[in-house]
Amino acid sequence: MINFLEIGMNFSQVFSGTDAHLAEFVCRFLEENGALLEKRNKVVEALLPKELAESLGVEEHICISPETETKQDARPYPVHFGSPLLDRTLAIAGSRPSLARCELTFYYLKKSGFDHLIKEQFTFSKSIGEISSVAEFRTQYIIFTCRYLAQSDEQKEGLVTIPLHEETGAFVPELDQLLLHQEKSFSTNRQQIFTKNRIDHLMTLARPYISEAVEEKTIDFRKSMNRRFFRDSTSLEEYYQALTEEMKQSLSRSGLSDRGRAEREEKIALIPQELALKKKDLLTKYSIKVNVSLSAVMIVTTPAVRIHFSTKAGNVKKMIPMTYNPISKLIDPLVCESCKRSMYRIGFCKNMHLICTNCHADKCSRCDENY
């Protein structure tokens, strides 16, 4: 009897040959989706959940190997480029965002000098403050990678990356690039870290930054489509203007019957309407539709420093938790409690809710008090 108990096995110890990495990928996919796997000689036997087996078009008990033939009881499914099992696995894996987790290692964390960073990075309106305590802790950042597709007469596609502090939702620009230079280890643990609701909430916070990033990435594309629209629209206007002049001149020709003159005048009167329809078609042709979809999520766990900053406005006090980010070597921005956007210029309502400069003209969404 086969004992399907081992979880998180190292498949590189099982397979060999040029297609070994493909078989390893399929095994990791099966394991991540609830299959039970066991190593047997140079193959892996898998017991699949019914729904997974049906989606892949295979039996619930299969044998995976880079080789085309095996001596196992389960039906063999070779894995190589072009194999049906690999193609179906890639199709399912690519239809949903991929998830990666990594942990960072820092052998030294900053222990002082935070007051200087606060003065350098932040401006507090009508308030004073000081650091009351600092402490090391572990925290997480979540990096969303989104694919955008801008479609018009042509199309442009690409990726944008938005890193957020998981606890606060603060936007930390270029964190993904700074990670390239950090010591890290990746985890394949299937343990659920965030719920779907938490991911959806963070995506809501990320959307304004995603829109801004896509807008910046497509500036040249938009300019190009606008230039083409202006060029074609100008050519169209010149054509119909010349056509109008030509038809008006033809009205003075001798031998033109009254009926012919009336028909021509009717056509001249319809030219503005026809031009408007043609320009509408051009506008549709060069209008830009942008679709954005989530492609990947990376969860980064790292040591950091929690700074408790005590601030006071009038007789009202507030303790503000700040995070020193050892990846950026800066303090993460604070988050407006009204619009949820990241900020470095800090204002307060009468009840000391943190408010950004863009929200100063409105009432506080938390307590309905003026600023």
Mean pLDDT confidence for 127-134: 92
User: How far is the C-alpha of 269 from the C-alpha of 37, rounded, in Å?
Assistant: 78
Assess whether pLDDT exceeds 80 at residue 241. yes
Confidence of residue 3 (pLDDT cuts 50, 70, 90): very low
For residue 191, the model assigns a pLDDT of 59
Assess whether pLDDT exceeds 90 at residue 367. no
What does the pLDDT look like over 250-307, one tens digit per residue?
Answer: 887 767 777 878 888 888 899 999 999 999 999 999 999 999 999 989 999 999 999 9
Assess whether pLDDT exceeds 70 at residue 228. yes
User: How far is the C-alpha of 68 from the C-alpha of 76, rounded, in Å?
Assistant: 8
What does the pLDDT look like over 44-79, one tens digit per residue?
Answer: 899 999 999 999 999 999 998 876 555 556 678 888
What does the pLDDT look like over 291-316, one tens digit per residue?
Answer: 999 998 999 999 999 999 999 888 88
Mean pLDDT confidence for 178-201: 78
For residue 1, the model assigns a pLDDT of 37
Mean pLDDT confidence for 185-206: 78
Name which of 53-62, 106-115, 181-190 the model is least confident about.
181-190
Assess whether pLDDT exceeds 50 at residue 7. no
Average pLDDT, the chain: 87
Name which of 96-100, 141-145, 274-278, 297-301 the model is least confident about.
96-100
Q: Which amino acid is at 176?
A: D
Mean pLDDT confidence for 209-236: 96
The conformation of residue 68, written as its DSSP 8-state character, comes to S
For the chain, the C-alpha Rg in angstroms (whole number) is 31
Assess whether pLDDT exceeds 70 at residue 192. no
In the chain, DSSP assigns E strands to 36-40, 43-47, 61-65, 75-78, 98-104, 123-124, 128-151, 155-165, 184-187, 289-313, 316-325, 330-331, 334-335, 342-343, 345-348, 354-355
Q: How many CB atoms lie within 10 A of CB 253?
A: 10
The conformation of residue 357, written as its DSSP 8-state character, comes to G
Helix (H, G, I), strand (E, B) or coil at 283: helix
b/e code 275-292 from CB counts within 10 Å (16+ = b): beebbeebeeebebebeb
For residue 6, the model assigns a pLDDT of 42
The structure tokens 């239809």 sit at 95
Q: How many CB atoms lie within 10 A of CB 365?
A: 15
For residue 12, the model assigns a pLDDT of 59
**DSSP codes of every residue in 76-116:** EEE-STT-HHHHHHHHHHHTS-EEEEEEE--S----S-HHH
Q: Which of 371, 355, 352 is nearest to 363 (CA)?
A: 371
Contacts of 245 (CB under 8 A, 6+ apart): none
Assess whether pLDDT exceeds 50 at residue 2. no
Q: In this structure, are strands 316-325 and 330-331 parallel, antiparallel, or unpaired?
A: antiparallel
Q: Which amino acid is at 42?
A: K
* pTM (two decimals): 0.74
Residue ranges per domain, the chain? Answer: 11-96, 101-217+292-359, 221-287
Assess whether pLDDT exceeds 60 at residue 239. yes
CA 281 from chain centre, in angstroms, equals: 33
